[in-house]
Each structure stands twice: as structure tokens, then as C-alpha cells.
Copies of this chain bind each other. A is one copy, B any other.
Amino acid sequence: MPPKRVIGVDAGGTKLLGGVVDDRLVVHNRVHRLWRGADREETLRIVVEAVEELRAAAPDAAAAGFGIPSLVSGGRSVASVHLPLDDVPFGDLMAERLGIPVLVDNDVNAAVLAEHRFGAAHGTSHAVMFALGTGIGGGLILDGRVYRGATGAAGELGHTVVDVDGPPCPCGGRGCLEVLASGTAIGIAGTEAARAHPRSALGKRLEDDGAIRGSFVTELAHAGDELAREAVCSVGRRLGAGLVSVLNVLDPEVAVIGGGAVAAGDMLLDPAREVLDTQGLGPPRMRVVPAHFGSESGMLGAALLALDAAA
């Protein structure tokens, strides 16, 4: 009997990654889409079209799982900071347009499910995940299961307040970890360094392009540029403050760091670990590790939702 196959979709703040995934977690086909600035209807259309492309390659796909960057309650996108999906019956709409069973969860709830079941948090009972990208998503495994809270909205680790008088956050709050320690924040730290040192490599890039992205700062840092390296480290130290809060409140065994910004590796994670181990309560004990599935944990977790339902 051939393995059962489903579709998993990770709908991030700036891009979508979808795949046909079998019950051994092998990915057979992938699709990518960018959608910065798309409105609600366009966003939904892009999702449906991406799934239909995957179904054309895998007509046997039994169900589709979605991870979306929203507060999700009963398949409904209650609110979303990074996509125009406030108060959208996402699950019902997808089921209607696709005609197959549809499962929906928060994107990082899906990601932490994959990392817990088969990845960097395997074998633990208490784990958290930070996904560092455009913003910061979060997911929690408590007592061995994804923890969703009273209304399904739990786990938004990017929206812990780490700077009570800090800059406004796109969520409507102030000084959220997301503003200070996301991939976007690495770009901002690099831009500030470029302005302070206009003759540096960062400064020249800012002059040429008018903007600096986090991924460029990370590349330059990997190549040995000290200024870029310090920009990444400064963001790592702020991530450390978020890790301290998580340790002190939830006492997990491991914090898994995913999302595009984890490309910075230990250059980002070592300063975070240092803050954690010197400022957290009690003996150092929480491991801080990169996501095992890299940028694919959300997509694989979304597929797991569908595989569990189809089992």
C-alpha cells in the first residue's frame, strides 16, 4: 500500500510554503508564493491556487493542514498581525473551496508540533518555539501537548512585553519582543549601524540600496564583518531577555529557535544563551537549539495536523 499523503501549508507573514507530505514525513512536491501587500481576497486566492497546484501533482492527497500567523479558534482566524485575516472563517472557506477535509492552527503551533514529534524537541514534555521572521511567532508544548489556552490564542511569545516604554508594535502593543528580536530587527540594527558608520560595508549598502535587510546583515556577519556581527549579537541579547521570561514562567526543557533569522546560527544564539544563563532564575537548564526542520517545520506541522485527522 502506498503511504498516505496530505498537503501541508505554512502561510507566513511574507510568504507561503506548501508541500505534499506522506505519513513518513517525506516531502514530495513543494510550492512557494510571496504575497507582501496582498489584500484578504487575494491572500485567500493565492492559498487556494497553491494548494490546487499541489493537488494536481498528488490527486490522492486526503486532507490539507494549514498553519497561519493568526490567533486561531475553531478553524477561525480571529486576528492576525501580519496577514489581512482578522475575523475570517479560514477553515470553512478553505474546506468549501477545496472540497477536502481542512485543519487549521496557528503557524508556530504547527511548527512546534513537528519539532516536538520528530525534531529538536523530541523526547521532551515541556518545550517552546520562537519563529524569528518578519515578526516572532511562538508555540508551546506543555505536559507533552500543544498548549492553546482558554480561547486558542496562547503561545504568542513574540508579544511578550520586554520594553514597557518601548516602540509601538504592529500588534497594537508596545515594546514587544517581536519589535526587538525578529529578523526584521536584525535589519533595523544593521541600518542603525550603517547610519553610525557610513563608510562601513553596511553603510555602503545602505547608500546603494536605501535599505538593509536582516538576511544581508547576517551574511555580512558570517563573512567576518565586525559591525554586522555586533548588530546580530545585540539582537541575540534581546532574544535572551525573552528566553529569561519563558524560563521563569514556563520552565521548559528546550527552546527551539526557527524562522529565517536562525540562519545567523550561534552568532545569534550564543549571546541569547549567555543572557539566559546569567539572568534566568535557578541553575542553567533550558537548552536553546535551532529548529531541526529549518524553515520547513511549519509546513511539516501543518501536514501532521492533516495526517492526524486522516489517520
Which residues of A pack against B, CB within 8 Å?
71, 78-79, 81, 124-126, 138, 140, 142-143, 147-157, 159-165, 171-175, 180, 238, 241-242, 244-245, 248-253, 278-283, 285
Beta-carbon nearest neighbor of A87 in chain B: B283
Beta-carbon nearest neighbor of A155 in chain B: B249
Residues A151 and B249 in contact, CB atoms below 8 Å apart: no
Rounded to whole angstroms, the CA-CA distance of A238 and B175 in the bound complex is 12
Given contacts A172-B278, A279-B173, A281-B79, contact A251 B164 (CB under 8 A): no
Cβ contacts A to B, 8 pairs, < 8 Å: A140-B249, A142-B147, A150-B285, A153-B251, A154-B251, A159-B249, A159-B281, A160-B249
With a cutoff of 8 Å between Cβ atoms, the chain B residues found around residue A151 in the complex are 251, 282, 285
Rounded to whole angstroms, the CA-CA distance of A71 and B278 in the bound complex is 17
Among B124, B149, B165, B175, contact of A252 (Cβ-Cβ < 8 Å): B149
Among B143, B150, B241, B282, contact of A251 (Cβ-Cβ < 8 Å): B150
As for how many copies of this chain the complex holds, the number is 2
Within the complex, what minimum Cβ distance (angstroms) separates A311 from chain B?
24
With a cutoff of 8 Å between Cβ atoms, the chain B residues found around residue A245 in the complex are 159-161, 245
With a cutoff of 8 Å between Cβ atoms, the chain B residues found around residue A164 in the complex are 162-163, 180, 238, 241
